[in-house]
Structure formats: C-alpha cells, structure tokens
A and B are shown apart, each in its own frame.
Chain A
Amino acid sequence: MPDPRKRRKEKRSPFTVDRGIPGAYEGETVTRRRLFEGGALTAGGIASAAFGLPALGFAAGPLFSDDSPERFQDVGPEADFNARTYVARVITLVADAGEAGKTTIYVRKFDPSRDTDKLRQPYVAISTRCAHLGCPVRYVQASERFICPCHGGVYGFDGTVSGGPPVRPLDRLRTRVVDGRVLVGDRFSVDSKLQKFSVRDPSNHLDGIWKYLYPPRPTT
C-alpha cells in the first residue's frame, strides 16, 4: 500500500489554479495571502534583528577587544628589592574601579643561581591571583611559599605549584628597569616549565593537550 502522504504530495500542483484556490489566476504559484504572510514575517524579523543584533553585539563586545594598552607602573627604586625575598607592592590593574581595581604583587630581583626560567625578566614580579580560582595568595617567607586562603593552594619560591588544587604556576608580570627604577607591566601566564603564555584565566591548564582546550582569547 502506498504512503498516502506521498501520494498527495505527488498530486499537488504548484499552480494555484489547479488547486482550486479562489481568486487564483493563470500561472500563479504563490497566493497573495501567502506572499503577505511571508512578507510580514520577514519585515518583523528584519525589524527585530535591527535592534536585537546590535544590542547583542554591544553586550558581547568586550569578548573581542583588548582595550587596555600595556602600561608600565613604577614600583620603586632598584635598591628596594633583593634576590632573597619578595617585597609586596600594590599596583592598579583596572583604572576607575577604586580599591577593587588594585592588586598586590610580589617583586624580587632575578637570581641567576636559583631561577631556572628563560623569561629574561630583570625582576621577578609574581601576581597574587591564585591559578586555581583567583583568590589572593600570600607570601610566607619562613617557608618560602605562596599560600592561598581559599582552597589551600601552595606555590614554591618561583611560583610553581607545590601542592593543592592549582593547575599551573602563579602568573607573572613583565618587568623592566628604567633609570634605576623598577617598572611593572602586563600580566602573563606560565606553564609548569615556566614557559611564557598570554595571560589565561585561573583554572585554565597550560600543560600537555590541555593548553589547546584553553586557547588564547582576543581580550588578553
């Protein structure tokens, strides 16, 4: 037995005259009613898109633009820092956000006998943003460790993970020395071998195949 739906489809003529629609005329395949239905829907769709798409783009715009040019901040004269311990400094990450836009960083002089990284920074500036979920870590000189209060992340003297949930070492900041003063610039991330990556969010792995699952973003 043939499929009744299929048979009806075969029989149906594209011409409205053949289908016996009132007001049909020779050669017409779309009735006026159909045309106006489609026209009204299209006009409504265009009108909605005309305000909807710009609004969506407006909300999602910050995803695709990096509107913070690199800005080096003075954190003090070279004499303030040494290679044995970290000195805490407060820098501004986001302007116009008051106290919420400021953050503590830890700075020490690069120590060729102790540091193994090839980052070529004259000073080691460690970001206090924990690589687990972003809480502020604190440096404890007695154990030469960075310790996070939230979920127990622990980092060694060079910022690599020594325990707890963090997935990569602490982020660092670019440093340079100008006229005897130490300047601190943009943040960058490092993998467990202290190789440089563009800054990633906390919780984003940077080792093995993981680094392909957390690709660099346009904002960083």
Chain B
Amino acid sequence: MSALKRRRGPGRNEETGPPATPGRAGNGKPGLDREELIRQAAEVPISAVAWLDERTGASPFLRGFLYRKVPRGTNWFYTLGSATMFAFLSQAVTGVFLAMYYDPSATRAYESVQHITNDVFLGQLVRGMHRWGATVMVVLVFLHMGRTFFFGAYKYPRELNWLIGVVLLVLTLAMGFTGYLLPFDQRSFWATVVGVNINASGPIMGPYLADFLRGGPEFGAATLSRFYAIHMLLIPGLIAALIGAHLYLVAKLGTTAPPWLKAEKPRELAREEI
C-alpha cells in the first residue's frame, strides 16, 4: 500500500504529512494513524484500477465504447440486442454449472438430469433458467432482428453486421436443436430423431449431414456425446466470438436513428429557407 502511495509523487501528501509507518502506530497517536490508514485503504481500489489502466490503456477504449454518442430518438427498442447478449450470458453461466452434474452417456443422461432436477440444491431453478432462457433467447433474437429490420438499421454501412447477426441467429437455433436432446427423455429423443432425419432429406449431401450429426448410420451413444460437445463447446465459442465482432461493429459504426425522425438540416440552410 505504501509503495503505491509513494509513487504518487510529492504533491498528494502535503495535507496529511508523511505516510504513517507501522512503528508510529503504537506511539500514542492512534487517531491520526487510523485516519491515515482509512484514507489509504480508500485509495486501494482507485490505485488498482489505475495500475490496470496504466498497463492496458483500457480507459480510452472503454470511454469510447460505453460513452459513445447515440442518435436522437434512441429508445427502449435499442436495448433488445443487449438483452439478447445477457440471455446468452445467462445460458453460458447456467450451462457451465449444469455441466458439473450432467452425464452425457446414453445410459446415464436421463438419470443425471433427474438428479439435477430433484436432488441438487437449486438444481430445478438452474435447469429451469437454462431451459426457459433458451426460449427467451430465441424470442429476443427475433425481436432484435425485427427492430433492426423495421428501423432500417441493416442498410449501408451496416450490412456486414446484419450478416453476422444472421449467423448468430442460425447458431442460436442450432443451440436449441442440440440442447433439446440432452435431457434424453422420450420427447427429446424422438424430436432429435425427426430433426436429424429432416437434415437427411436433403438430396445427395443430406444423408451425409445426418451421418455427421449421428456420428454414424444409427442413432446411438455417439450421437449424444456429439450433440453435447457441439452444444457446450463448439457453438458457444462461435457465438461468443461473433458477438464480439457484432459489438465491435456497433461501436465502430454507431447506431441509426429511428426512421420516423427526419434528418436535421444544417443550421444555415434552415435559416435560408425561412
């Protein structure tokens, strides 16, 4: 603590005098030393942030990202993207903790899900959050897409962000498809059989795609572990990376004003028209 203090330079300590040393604390001036300690303790978080900032240069970036200007007319519909991202984060966190109890083997999967739901402390809540959160995320993705479409926010120069969003939509649905199998009850089993066979209905490549998803010609133990790996490793990584790219482009290009606002004329022009 005192090392940090010393580095601040001479000007800061003039009011309080030299920093307290441990030796003086026991020498009859406890009040002053205590005040000084509290003052120093209060500076710890500031110093820690300053330490990080000095070494990462994060604050100009964060200032630009978090305090960027938004157009007039920005409203609650503009929060749907963030809402989707928080739905994803919620899925990621609950998913990690579900993975601690879940067993992706064809013979044990169902029992392990029953164990999570019935025995584990707060298991029903966490599984419920993950299960309903999946639906919430899909709904939010579509609402966010609708906002972008109806506000014309997909137009130049934001086409690439629309395309990334389309990939994110597809990946979100793929998360729903792969996650649906994991409880491994009758409903999820047969729904996945049907889903994989829908993939197989595509000419020429379809049956190969189905073989890839099943990990072979028959629906078996390999299918479940495959779906599990795709669900918890492959797609979440892709989604996280693409959300990063999506946000970068939002910060770089800025957001659009709602379509019902007319573009403002430069002041001189407006005066001339009068």
Contacts and interface: CB of A to CB of B under 8 A. Distances in A.
Interface in B165-188: 184
B208 A217 contact: yes
Question: Is the interface on chain B under 10, 10 to 19, 20 to 34, or 35 or more residues?
Answer: 20 to 34
A96 B211 contact: no
Given A100-B184, A133-B193, A134-B197, A204 B207 contact: yes
Contacts of B193: 133-135
A38 interface: no
Interface string B200-217: 110110111011101111
A60 interface: yes
B107 A204 contact: no
B189 A203 contact: no
Contact of B201 (A62, A100, A136, A203): A203
Interface stretch (B28-36, B37-45, B219-227, B262-270): B219-227
Given A133-B194, A135-B194, A217 B203 contact: no
Given A100-B184, A100-B189, A219 B211 contact: yes
Interface string A195-211: 00001111110000000
Contact of A66 (B190, B197, B201, B217): B217
Given A101-B106, A150-B194, A63 B212 contact: yes
A98 B216 CA distance: 17
Interface of A: 59-60, 62-63, 66-68, 93-94, 96-98, 100-101, 133-136, 150, 199-204, 213-215, 217, 219-220
The 6 A-B residue pairs whose C-beta atoms are closest, nearest first, are A94-B220, A203-B201, A201-B200, A98-B107, A213-B203, A219-B217
